[in-house]
Structure 1
Amino acid sequence: MGNANVSRGEHARAAFLRACRLDVETMKPGNVSIGSAGHGMTSAQFIASAGAAAAGLFTPGARVGARILDAVRRTFDAVGCNTNLGIVLLAAPLCAALESMEPDDSVDASRWHAQTQRVLADLDIDDARLAYRAIALANPGGLGDAPEQPVHAPPTVTLRAAMSLAADRDSIARQYENGFADIFGAGLDAAGAISSATEHRAMLDAFLTFLCGWPDSHIVRKLGASVAQSVTRDAAMHRADWRAAGRPAQFAALDAWDTGLKARGINPGTSADLAVATLFVALMARAASSSNA
Structure 2
Amino acid sequence: MRTAQHAQLALLLEVAGTPKPGNVDRRRDFDDLRFEHFLTGAVGACDGLEAAAAGEPVGESFDTAVAGMSQQRGGNAQFGALLLLVPLVRAATTWGLTPEEASATVEATTVDDAAGFYRAFEHVDVFVEEPPPEAEDLDVRRGADAIPALRDRELTLYDVMELSAPEDGVAAEWTNDFRRTFAAAETVRDGDGPVPDRVAEAFIELLAREPDTMVAKQHGPAVAESVRERAAMLRHAARDEREAFADELVERGVNPGTMADITAAATFVALERDGVVP
Q: Normalising to structure 2: TM-score of the pair? A: 0.87
Q: Taking structure 1 as reference, are residues 144 and 271 closer, same or farther at Cα in structure 2, changes over 3 Å only?
A: farther
How far the C-alpha of 1:136 sits from its partner, in A, is: 4.5
List gaps (5 residues or longer) in structure 1. Answer: 1-9, 102-106, 243-250
**Mapped contact 1:188–1:278 kept (Cα < 8 A):** yes
Instruction: Select 2:4's aligned residue among 7, 10, 13.
Output: 13
Which of structure 1's runs of 4+ aligned residues deviate more than 4 A? Answer: none
Show the 5 A alignment for 1:140-289. Answer: 140-142=126-128, 145-146=131-132, 147-148=134-135, 149-151=138-140, 152=142, 153-154=146-147, 155=150, 156=153, 157-184=155-182, 186-193=183-190, 197-241=193-237, 251-287=239-275
Instruction: Select 2:120's aligned residue among 107, 115, 134.
Output: 134
Which whole-Å CA distance do the structure 1 matches of 2:191 and 2:88 have between them?
A: 19
Amino acid at match of 2:265: A
**What's the secondary structure of 2:254's corresponding residue?**
coil
**Mapped contact 1:39–1:262 kept (Cα < 8 A):** no
**What's the secondary structure of 1:241's corresponding residue?**
coil
Q: Taking structure 1 as reference, are residues 99 and 61 closer, same or farther at Cα in structure 2, changes over 3 Å only?
A: same
Amino acid at match of 1:56: G
Q: Normalising to structure 1: TM-score of the pair? A: 0.82
How far the C-alpha of 1:39 sits from its partner, in A, is: 4.7
- Identity between Structure 1 and Structure 2 (%): 28
Amino acid at match of 1:220: A
Amino acid at match of 2:92: L
List gaps (5 residues or longer) in structure 2. Answer: none
Q: Answer yes or no: is 1:121 the counterpart of 2:112.
A: no
Aligned residue pairs, count: 262
How far the C-alpha of 1:114 sits from its partner, in A, is: 2.5
Which whole-Å CA distance do the structure 2 matches of 1:39 and 1:112 have between them?
A: 38
CA RMSD of aligned residues (A): 2.1
